[in-house]
Chains A and B, each alone.
Chain A
């Protein structure tokens, strides 16, 4: 275990170990893991860019930790969105003596990896939205985004109250994320007085949905919710239009992407998707973030970049407050953090590690672009 060493001993050991490497022993290293290859790599890249921007800014600011100017470094690993790879990668990061974890991306990878980090005493800030992640009783698990309970409650309420849908059909892709979100939406729809007329399933690799959509059409729903990725929801929306289904498609934040717009093409209009927080252009800090992001990466931030950016700054702030990058010292500061970010006016955690502020914004595709419909405060928690 790393805590068996005193810090000077660790520094000497690391200095020797990294003699040929680029990283310095007194760097503060954050482990990061997400799908950087494969069909979900567009999400991973988005998250990585958000983190990179935060770390570069922190380094420029010259934050002093324990009397020394801190240099924050991101140690990136590819977990391929695969739970087994995620655990191996988690162990590698622990072995590299990182000081904190900013990852993983998917719920399915975050949950098994969180155990490895917890055993090593490393605080973890993950993009995962599955409720299970913070319900394991670990004191090291925190979120960058809403949980599905929070998002699902808002989406379910929106479907029944705003879209005036009484009969709702639900599809999910049987992943930890898709299934979890769909279940929460189902609960919320029922609670708001709606009825689930059909529940169908697919996989996160499918591209033919005509059989299940035909069943759904026969059930005549007023709205259809899909829990899953944009690689499926895009073709699905096309096939809905082709089958002549008029009911709107509603989905979670993974669908609120440009990839969805690309894959759904002309059929995209009239799709709804939810996303945690307030739109970036509604907040001064958010607008500012978007400008800096565009200047740095020459493209607009994706769905996850702002949350990753806020997450990185939350961890840096906790370290600054504790004046130490030692996990056991800054963990209490992280749990009690209270700060302003690009996505929220006050970022703070409840005792499980879920974000306290739970506003969710619903977007709709109009003329091939995502446009905000309304921001609502979730009733969950």
Chain B
């Protein structure tokens, strides 16, 4: 039983990161119907920038507090990612807003490649390590262990998601976003500034991506320029799993995917009698994606989107 709980905790941590990234996919999709494949690379840029800042701060003064390192990291990587996300939308996606969807999709893949190569030029090809500044305290829960870092990741993710839901449902900007998602033209006629709303979606998504990137690099201790690709694909799967365009769905999908992966990798060897091993961990995400697309194309919490497709 304690193994099961441990796997749940592992999955929950992983899932919280997926959920944050998935929100970025789903917000953009909900509003302009674009699958922003460059989103995973925005996460990577957040992780790389935070790692670089942390290394520089520790290098300059080894006694600097963990709080300062994380705060400065956040202050640099969040605006940087927001700038990257906003620029991508302004330069690459806005001119194609009325073009066929396929054009925008391919552009998104192009932006992803550009971001990866830029990161490679700036930070090099080797693995960067995030300095170990946090001495995680470990708590025992029914035989399973959860570190303070894991708790922080889950809690911060939950707080951010709650705040985001409040923004979308209680503020003027949120109302404008929901209106734009329902019908862009009519919302425009009602006096909603479409461009502002879309830019806001990219800015918020990129800020979440930066935070997710910082979580990944502090938790695993490594960052590399190719890390955004797989993470982005997984988060996209999570968004589809929950119902792309649906924010609560993205959160639920992210958490669920993390847990499925963790339990899958933990038990597949035993279930299949060693025929399939735990290196199939990454396969689970995509098996789930295929299953959802076959049996429930609109996702677990998604609505029928026939009128928009």
Report which A residues bind B (CB closer than 8 A). 37-39, 41-42, 173-174, 199-203, 205-208, 210-212, 214-215, 217-218, 231, 234-235, 238, 242-244, 259, 262-263, 265-267
Contacts and interface: CB of A to CB of B under 8 A. Distances in A.
A238 B227 CA distance: 19
A210 B3 CA distance: 11
A242 B138 contact: yes
A199 B11 CA distance: 21
Contact of B278 (A37, A201, A207, A234): A201
B7 interface: yes
Question: A-side binding surface: helix, strand, loop or mixed?
Answer: helix
B132 A266 contact: yes
B138 A210 contact: no
Interface string B125-150: 11101011000101000000101010
B297 interface: no
B158 interface: no
Given A41-B126, A234-B221, A265-B131, A214 B279 contact: no
B220 A207 contact: yes
Contacts of A37: 125
A39 B221 contact: no
Given A206-B281, A211-B10, A215-B278, A265 B266 contact: no
B14 interface: yes
A38 B125 CA distance: 5
B127 A263 contact: yes
Contacts of B11: 211
Contact of A263 (B129, B147, B227, B266): B129
A149 B13 CA distance: 39
Nearest to A230: B127
A211 B278 CA distance: 9
A202 B129 CA distance: 20
A104 B193 CA distance: 59
B266 A214 contact: yes
B224 interface: yes
A111 B149 CA distance: 43
B198 to A, nearest CB: 33
Given A210-B10, A212-B265, A244-B138, A234 B129 contact: yes
Contact of B221 (A41, A203, A214, A235): A235
B254 to A, nearest CB: 15
A214 B282 CA distance: 17
A44 to B, nearest CB: 11
A80 to B, nearest CB: 10
Contacts of B265: 211-212
Nearest to A212: B278
26 contacts: A39-B127, A41-B125, A199-B274, A199-B277, A202-B278, A202-B279, A203-B279, A207-B220, A208-B281, A210-B14, A211-B262, A211-B281, A215-B269, A217-B3, A218-B2, A234-B221, A235-B220, A238-B132, A238-B221, A242-B138, A244-B138, A259-B126, A263-B129, A263-B222, A265-B132, A265-B221
